[in-house]
């Protein structure tokens, strides 16, 4: 399991995951808003 506190490399990987997940959530919300 990823632990962003263990090393800088893991923190960097965690940041990339957050960017991808938050980006996906924002995209879904914007699409739903546009359709409704």
Partner 1 sequence: MESASIAVGHAEEHEHHGPPPANRSSRIEAQFLGMLLFIISEVMLFGAFFTAYFFIRVVNHDHWPALGTKLPVAVAGVNTAILLSSSLTMHWSLVSAKNENRFGMRAGLLSTFLLGLTFLTVQINEYVHIGFAPHDHAQGTIFYGLTGLHGAHVFVGLTLLSFATIRAFRGHFSAKEHRGVEVPGIYWHFVDVMWIIVYSTIYVL
Q: Does 28 sit near partner 1 (CB under 8 A)?
A: no
- For residue 24, give both structure tokens: 């996906």
| Nearby residues of 21 by Cβ (< 8 Å), 6 or more positions away | none
Q: How far apart are CA 7 and CA 18, in angstroms?
A: 17
Q: Does 31 sit near partner 1 (CB under 8 A)?
A: no
Q: Does 34 sit near partner 1 (CB under 8 A)?
A: no
Among 25, 32, 35, 36, binds partner 1 (CB under 8 A): 25
- CA 25 distance to own-chain centroid: 8
Task: Write out the residues near partner 1 by the rule CB under 8 A.
Answer: 4-9, 11-12, 14-15, 18-19, 22, 25-26, 29-30
């Amino acid at each position: 399991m990823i632990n962003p506190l263990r090393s800088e490399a893991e923190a960097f990987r965690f940041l990339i995951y957050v960017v991808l997940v938050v980006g996906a959530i924002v995209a879904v919300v914007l699409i739903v808003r546009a359709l409704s």
